[in-house]
Amino acid sequence: MIARLPQRLPAPPAQLLRWVLVAAFFLLWAVIQTWPLVLHAGNSLSYWPVRPEDSWMNLWNLWWVKHALFSFSNPFHTDLLFYPQGADLYLHTLNTVDAVLSIPLQLLTGNIILSWNILGLLLFAASGVATYALAYRFTKNDAASLIAGFIFAFAPFVVMRFHGHWNIATVWPLPVFALFLFRFQERGRWWDAAAAGAAWAIIAYTNLEYAVDAGMFLGLFLLYWSLVYARAREWPRLLPLWRVVPIAVAALFVVGGPLLVPALISIRRNEVSMPVASESMSSDLGALFTPSPLWGPGKVPTWDLGSLQHFPTGDIENTVYLGITPLLLAAVALAQVRRLSHVQVFWAAVLLFFVSLAMGPHLYLGDNKDFSLLGLHFTVPMPYQLYEKIPLIKERRGIARLIVFGYLALSILAAMGAAAILSWLRGHYLKLVPLAAVLLFAFVAVEYWNPPQVTARLETPAALVAISREAGDFAVLDAPLGRSTWTLGGTQAGAIMADYYQRIYQKPSLGGYISRAPNETLFWVDTPPGIKYLACPALCPARPDADDLNAALVQETFLKYRIKYVALHYVTPHGWLVGGEELKRLDGYIRTVLGFREVYADSAFTLFADPDFPAPDSVAAP
């Protein structure tokens, strides 16, 4: 039986204090779960040593959205990466909501790394508070709702993504969306449906894949409650329920239209390469019961298929541990056969639906989908095979990421189970209730324990900051040059470093790393004389060719594209070696063929400048 508190609400000051304490509780746990990040918040990020570029891209996202809004530009198109073509960002993981929320912090601190770290902690707390509010709606039990908030906010899947996939780790809008749907179901007020639609739009601005998942959640919500009302012949409740669709969809497009409409048009016109998610990025049945690699003393997660056909359990893409305690609490909630409510069945259906989709087209167990029984060899097809046939929504990157609404369902079911246990104890062993609540929370916290996190100190080179203060319209080339999405033009190291350094020098960069771009834009770096050699100095045996060695032609090309500086990088911002002997050859090429002069050098990079670059406003645009 689920414990319920008296219906009379506490006085407003008491309500406010309660929410402040709940927020403080989750903020404290955010500090604990990301420890020791708070000690280095001004200059370090939580990151994956095997894949640091996603953190650098997200730093660029925060900087770019602020820059675009303050210059009254469209934040969904940039000319500062992939110069001179630029790139649309409608299908890029721009994470617009986090970027906008970071602007006050950027203005206040003047430190984008500190701004993100503060915001990241606040987002964890927001996820906990929102899930607490959703769970409390069903349980009216504070302790059980705190457990739910902890499960969703600090799920191993979420904390893993905090190291690089910030848009995927930003999950607070999901319980807000669900909360307003249930408010509309109960009260039938149009503004609750509109609020659900607005939350849906916020989800879209954060992560388009989650917006698709929210649409499926809404579909499950309508289907399930329609069946409940139809079976009970509660027609006065059934018809008004469907009013949520036009109201929520209208609010979704009113608030999210500036992103959604161009994104849908771009997909429809095949303007960018949209590879369908690979089965390699699906989950594994065993992964649901395998603790995160960050658990306990922790180890560095992997992101490498190697010779495998499936990302292994414990990989960044396959960390989906549900937890034994949360599953047992959910089982308690569902074991009350005689008192099983429609709400419990609904959340169980949500859990099953999204977990089964996250398994991908075939069931994997032990990173293997081929099974044998009594001499028969077979695979087990999964519902995702139907999902991947649906236009538009099949265009997603990681299949295992479908599990996020499953985590939300698990957190609510676990809260119901915890509330049932505490309610029973209250009637039989009242004095044990506080201890039981603490123990239940402790069991979950131990299973979801994440510290210490891996952090990396990031530097801001003064020589590049000085470029940002220079007048004039010119570009910077980070060498080796690269442009990257799913597809690569040039050198990967150059692509990812362009994101990190462009926000520092703040001038157009020929390189960049974004989520989606037309292939012709990526491969443009293989065409212009000189530029194509800087893009492929090691793996293209025919380079430099005759055009690359024609000093007059190359210098004319660099002047055409207003390239004033070339930064030749030896190590990435987190210390990886960029190359070997080919970098020495590039150094000589830049000095002799380009005729650029060294203006700064250290162990990380050498900065070259064109000594004959025209004065500001004297160079025609390309």
Which residue blocks in 11-50 are alpha helix, DSSP H? 12-33
Query: How much of the chain, in percent, has pLDDT values that exceed 70?
Result: 95
Q: pLDDT at position 340, please?
A: 73
Report whether 58 contacts 89 (CB < 8 A).
Answer: no
Flag the least confident range among 69-73, 82-86, 296-300, 518-522. 296-300
DSSP state of 392: T
User: How many CB atoms within 10 Å of residue 532?
Assistant: 24
User: Has residue 4 got a pLDDT over 60?
Assistant: no
Q: pLDDT at position 524, please?
A: 95
User: Has residue 550 got a pLDDT over 90?
Assistant: yes
- Where are the strands (E) in 343-440, listed by range? 371-373, 376-378
**526 or 367, which is more confident:** 526
Flag the least confident range among 28-37, 516-525, 613-622. 613-622
- The label of the residue with tokens 């008004």 reads 240
How far is C-alpha 451 from the chain's CA centre? Answer: 20
Closest CA to 150 of 174, 168, 132: 132
CA distances from 180 to 130, 150, 410 (A): 11, 20, 19
For residue 213 the two structure tokens come to 């998942």
pLDDT band at 366 (very low <50, low <70, confident <90, very high): confident
What average pLDDT score do residues 151-174 get?
Answer: 96
Q: What is the C-alpha to C-alpha distance for residues 1 and 417, in angstroms, rounded to an integer?
A: 9
Q: pLDDT at position 541, please?
A: 85
pLDDT band at 276 (very low <50, low <70, confident <90, very high): low
pLDDT band at 308 (very low <50, low <70, confident <90, very high): low
Query: How much of the chain, in percent, has pLDDT values that exceed 90?
Result: 77
> Which amino acid is present at 575?
G
Q: Which helix (H) or strand (E) is 601 found in, with range?
A: strand 597-601
Show the 3-state SS of 98-155: HHHHHHHHHHHHCCHHHHHHHHHHHHHHHHHHHHHHHHHHHHCCHHHHHHHHHHHHCC
User: How many CB atoms within 10 Å of residue 540?
Assistant: 14
The per-residue pLDDT for range 565-599, each reduced to its tens digit, is 999 999 999 888 999 899 999 999 999 999 999 99
Q: In this structure, what are the phi and psi dihedrals at residue 609, rounded to the nearest 5 degrees?
A: -130, 150
Q: pLDDT at position 619, please?
A: 42
Q: pLDDT at position 146, please?
A: 98
Number of H helices, E strands in the chain: 23, 13
Q: pLDDT at position 6, please?
A: 45
CA distances from 139 to 147, 153, 164, 430, 592 (A): 12, 18, 34, 18, 73
| Number of residues that this document lists for the chain | 622
CA distances from 200 to 178, 211, 244 (A): 9, 6, 12
Q: pLDDT at position 622, please?
A: 46
Q: pLDDT at position 11, please?
A: 57
